[in-house]
């Protein structure tokens, strides 16, 4: 085992350790949410995950961007199969270890990887132009200024460099194979990188070996760095999209969940002989004021958000200039959850900074702008539900703080007194029939 192998093992182990540490922190943050039992209809959930998360069925609603996203997604998954070979080569000092056992299949795989790498590179360039040079409203909204825009650009640029390094590495490998340089076995098919070979043919073998090794290290270290960048980026949806879709709502979108304690009180009103609800532990909070009042699925959704803006693009409140942006609701929830998690790491599990999601991050005006139409939920390519967070915070405003717009207060009072939103009794509701 040489120095290069030792350095690789150290780098690989460090990357895995750091990612595991960050992943553990995110899981801890998600578990700060309330318990929620989502164990029903597992077969239907698997079907939905395969169709939506793996099959990308909701992405192609926008055909051009959807197709390019599928290319990047497929490239990320398939090309990284090669990472397994790179890891084995890095640990044991081999070179293209799968070439001999796979034979012709290896040629097919490397050729497929190269075509995908080129497609990913082109798609990332197009995505970069769309985000930065074209006027697409959902990429220019207020919440996308600063870090969110930078984050998206970083990933696109990194992908371009990684795919470029992969193709240059293969081109250098071809030259060394053709020259019969020791250690570089003849293997693989190179439909794309073969066009880079003429550029390198006049270089010395020593320089080309250096170039091949440099791009090999850049490619694998780039992937390991990307792995540890994910937990700090919206691109963590690469991993969380699958469980988010699996645990997404199967009931009709317009059906809201009732609070057990409130439902029990209503049942007692209709049936005084019904047994009262038994108190189990602390008194249940009405709605959600901070992230700990939300359930774990809602918190996982905040980490899963792709920040694509399709929800805000379809939101009628957002379209008409209201303050609400469903994407911002998800981003604010994630930012607040990160803040709480870091506070607990620094100050212990009883940490409290006196701040809350409702008020310090999300305003009352945003919440009441929502029409509860479910357009955001329908538009989300990975079945996230910003509306559930909005409704839980509304519950907190109404039931915990008695805050409600005057127009709604009058309507609710009429429903309570008259059984209808109008300001006259039930006996008079049909009088309009007699009007001439």
Whether residue 52 is contained in a domain is answered as no
pLDDT at 378: 94
Tell me which residue range forms the domain holding 368: 260-426
pLDDT at 275: 65
Would you list the DSSP string of 180-200? Answer: T-TT-------TTGGGGHHHH
CB 173 within 8 A of CB 184: yes
pLDDT at 283: 61
pLDDT at 273: 72
Average pLDDT over residues 237-255: 90
404-424 pLDDT, tens digit per residue, is 888 888 888 888 888 888 877
Report the range of poorest mean pLDDT among 111-115, 249-253, 392-396, 430-434: 430-434
Backbone angles phi, psi at 284, to 5 degrees: -70, 135
Residues 15 and 142 in one domain: yes
Average pLDDT over residues 21-26: 95
| Cα–Cα distance measured from residue 271 to residue 129, given in angstroms and rounded to the nearest whole number | 63
pLDDT at 425: 79
Average pLDDT over residues 311-330: 94
Average pLDDT over residues 365-376: 94
Residues 76 and 154 in one domain: yes
pLDDT exceeds cutoff 60 at 127:
yes
CATH at residue 380: 1.10.1060
| Cα–Cα distance measured from residue 302 to residue 374, given in angstroms and rounded to the nearest whole number | 17
User: For tokens 């696109």, what's the residue?
Assistant: 156
Average pLDDT over residues 215-225: 93
pLDDT at 277: 56
Whether residue 48 is contained in a domain is answered as no
pLDDT at 279: 57
Q: Among 396, 391, 343, which residue's Cα sits nearest to residue 32?
A: 343
The confidence band for 224, taking pLDDT boundaries of 50, 70 and 90, is very high
The confidence band for 393, taking pLDDT boundaries of 50, 70 and 90, is very high
| Cα–Cα distance measured from residue 189 to residue 249, given in angstroms and rounded to the nearest whole number | 45
pLDDT exceeds cutoff 90 at 14:
yes
Whether residue 39 is contained in a domain is answered as no
Residues 219 and 349 in one domain: no
**Considering 211, 246, 281, which residue would you say is the last residue of a domain?**
246
Q: Among residues of the chain, what percentage have pLDDT more than 70? A: 97
278-287 pLDDT, tens digit per residue, is 655 566 778 8
User: For tokens 């998954």, what's the residue?
Assistant: 77
Whether residue 37 is contained in a domain is answered as no
Whether residue 255 is contained in a domain is answered as no
Residues 221 and 280 in one domain: no
**Residue-averaged pLDDT of the chain:** 89
**Considering 185, 213, 246, which residue would you say is the last residue of a domain?**
246
pLDDT at 72: 87
pLDDT at 229: 94
Residues 413 and 303 in one domain: yes
CA angle 370, 373, 374 (to 5 degrees): 100
pLDDT exceeds cutoff 70 at 436:
no
The confidence band for 433, taking pLDDT boundaries of 50, 70 and 90, is confident
pLDDT at 423: 79
**Considering 186, 221, 246, which residue would you say is the last residue of a domain?**
246
pLDDT at 1: 66
pLDDT at 269: 77
Report the range of poorest mean pLDDT among 14-28, 63-77, 115-129: 63-77
pLDDT exceeds cutoff 60 at 320:
yes
pLDDT at 281: 57
pLDDT at 282: 61
CB 368 within 8 A of CB 263: no
pLDDT at 126: 93
Please name the residues in contact with 222: beta carbons below 8 A apart, sequence gap of 6 or more.
Answer: 158, 161, 162, 165
H helix intervals, 283-370: 296-304, 310-314, 316-319, 326-347, 357-360, 364-369
| Cα–Cα distance measured from residue 386 to residue 374, given in angstroms and rounded to the nearest whole number | 9
Residues 222 and 328 in one domain: no
pLDDT at 38: 87
Whether residue 118 is contained in a domain is answered as yes
Task: Give CA torsion, residues 309, 312, 318, 320, to 10 deg.
Answer: 90
User: For tokens 């007692």, what's the residue?
Assistant: 268
pLDDT at 410: 85
Average pLDDT over residues 9-18: 95
Assign residue 55 a region: left if phi > 0, alpha if psi is -120 to 50, beta otherwise? alpha
Residues 282 and 225 in one domain: no
The confidence band for 203, taking pLDDT boundaries of 50, 70 and 90, is very high
Residues 78 and 227 in one domain: yes
Domains held by the chain: number:
2
Residues 17 and 109 in one domain: yes
Residues 107 and 235 in one domain: yes
Residues 95 and 191 in one domain: yes
Residues 218 and 291 in one domain: no
For residues 306 and 423, the model is more confident at 306
pLDDT at 276: 63
CB 7 within 8 A of CB 91: no
For residues 423 and 339, the model is more confident at 339
Whether residue 253 is contained in a domain is answered as no
Whether residue 185 is contained in a domain is answered as yes
Please name the residues in contact with 92: beta carbons below 8 A apart, sequence gap of 6 or more.
Answer: 1, 5
């Amino acid at each position: 085992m040489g120095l290069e192998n030792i350095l690789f093992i150290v780098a690989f182990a460090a990357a895995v350790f750091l990612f595991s540490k960050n992943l553990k922190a995110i899981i801890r943050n998600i578990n700060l949410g309330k318990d929620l039992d989502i164990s029903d209809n597992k077969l239907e959930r698997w079907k939905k995950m395969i169709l939506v998360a793996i099959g990308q069925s909701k992405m192609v609603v926008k055909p051009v961007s959807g197709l390019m996203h599928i290319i990047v997604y497929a490239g990320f998954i398939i090309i990284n199969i090669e990472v397994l070979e790179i890891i084995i080569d890095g640990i044991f000092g081999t070179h293209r270890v799968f070439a001999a056992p796979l034979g012709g299949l290896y040629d097919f795989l490397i050729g497929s990887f190269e075509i995908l790498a080129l497609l990913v590179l082109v798609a990332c360039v197009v995505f970069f132009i769309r985000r930065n040079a074209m006027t697409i409203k959902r990429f220019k909204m207020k919440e996308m200024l600063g870090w969110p825009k930078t984050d998206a650009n970083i990933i696109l640029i990194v992908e371009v460099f990684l795919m470029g390094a992969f193709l240059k590495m293969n081109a250098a490998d071809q030259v060394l194979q053709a020259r019969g340089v020791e250690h570089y076995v003849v293997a693989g098919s190179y439909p794309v990188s073969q066009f880079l070979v003429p550029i390198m043919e006049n270089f010395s073998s020593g320089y080309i070996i250096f170039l091949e090794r440099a791009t090999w290290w850049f490619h694998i270290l780039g992937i390991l760095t990307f792995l540890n960048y994910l937990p700090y980026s919206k691109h963590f949806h690469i991993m969380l999209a699958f469980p988010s879709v699996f645990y997404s709502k199967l009931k009709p979108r317009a059906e809201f969940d009732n609070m057990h304690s409130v439902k029990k009180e209503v049942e007692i009103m209709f049936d005084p002989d019904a047994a009262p609800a038994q108190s189990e532990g602390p008194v249940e909070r009405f709605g959600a004021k901070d992230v700990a009042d939300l359930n774990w699925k809602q918190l996982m959704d905040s980490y899963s958000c792709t920040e694509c803006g399709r929800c805000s693009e379809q939101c009628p409140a957002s379209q008409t200039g209201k303050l609400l942006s469903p994407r911002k609701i998800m981003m604010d929830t994630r930012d607040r959850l990160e803040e709480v998690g870091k506070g607990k790491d620094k100050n212990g599990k009883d940490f409290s900074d006196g701040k809350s999601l409702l008020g310090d991050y999300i305003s009352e005006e945003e919440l009441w702008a929502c029409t509860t139409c479910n357009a955001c939920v329908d538009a989300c390519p990975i079945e996230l539900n910003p509306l559930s967070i909005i409704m839980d915070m509304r519950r907190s405003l109404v039931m915990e703080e008695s805050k409600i717009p005057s127009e709604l207060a009058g309507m609710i009072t009429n429903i309570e007194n008259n059984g209808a939103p109008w300001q006259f009794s039930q006996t008079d509701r049909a009088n309009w029939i007699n009007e001439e």
